[in-house]
């Protein structure tokens, strides 16, 4: 029974997956020049209205805790783009049948996928200088996504994602 509990816990950890983050930024940028932000007025995040509202609320809280102000005339604008995709199972089992004899050969092979395909969500954060209209910082995330998750689970996932993305912002 103890092994079954451990197996279930292991499966939950593996199925949740972590948030993968890739960063890119202009090395010549002086991040201390940026103190205020706002969002593009025509931003189309690709998220549901409720998820977008959750994301913006958590992002505002995170940036404001780092000393940035949400203003009408900001130093930089934020654009958020997201997409969802199904990843293919990365494990399979091969089954084969073959035979030879008297200079005759033949064979059949079939690959059977293991596991199910999961939905992944990619969210990209673009920070654009308001004066120069130039991208100066970008983060792209990939993480597992469940369409039928409860609102509290969605909030927790978004909070964890934003925390991981902005843990090292601004770059040193």
Per-residue pLDDT at 110: 58
Q: Tell whether the model's pLDDT for residue 13 goes beyond 50.
A: no
Q: Over the chain, what is the mean pLDDT?
A: 80
Nearest by Cα to 38 from 63, 9, 2:
63
Cα 113 from chain centre: 25
Which tops the pLDDT comparison, 8 or 43?
A: 43
- DSSP string of 125-140? EEEEETTTTEEEEEEE
Q: What is the mean pLDDT of residues 17-34?
A: 89
**pLDDT confidence of residue 17:** 55
Q: Which residue has the higher pLDDT, 116 or 74?
A: 74
Which CATH class, in words, describes the domain spanning 19-84+117-172? Answer: alpha beta
State the average pLDDT over residues 160-164: 92
Residue 12: how many CB atoms within 10 A of its CB? 9
pTM score over 0.75: no
Average confidence (pLDDT) over 49-72? 95
Q: pLDDT for 61-106, tens place per residue?
A: 999 999 999 999 999 999 999 887 776 655 555 555 666 666 655 5
Q: Classify residue 130 as exposed, middle or buried by CB count within 10 Å of its CB (0-12, 13-18, 19+).
A: middle
- Residues with Cβ within 8 Å of 20's Cβ and at least 6 positions away in sequence, in order, are 141, 142, 143
């Amino acid at each position: 029974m103890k092994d079954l509990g451990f197996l279930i816990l292991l499966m939950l950890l593996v199925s949740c997956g972590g948030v993968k983050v890739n960063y890119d930024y202009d090395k010549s940028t002086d991040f201390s020049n940026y103190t205020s932000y706002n969002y593009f007025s025509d931003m189309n995040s690709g998220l549901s209205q409720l998820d977008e509202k959750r994301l913006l609320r958590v992002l505002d809280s995170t940036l404001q805790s780092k000393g940035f102000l949400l203003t009408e005339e900001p130093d930089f604008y934020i654009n958020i783009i997201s997409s969802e995709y199904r990843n293919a199972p990365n494990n399979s089992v091969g089954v084969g049948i073959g035979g030879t004899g008297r200079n005759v050969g033949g064979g059949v092979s079939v690959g059977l996928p293991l596991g199910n395909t999961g939905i992944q969500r990619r969210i990209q954060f673009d920070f654009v200088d308001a004066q120069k209209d130039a991208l100066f910082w970008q983060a792209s995330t990939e993480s597992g996504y469940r369409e039928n998750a409860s609102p509290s689970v969605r909030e927790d996932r978004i909070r964890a994602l934003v925390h991981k993305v902005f843990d090292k912002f601004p770059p040193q």
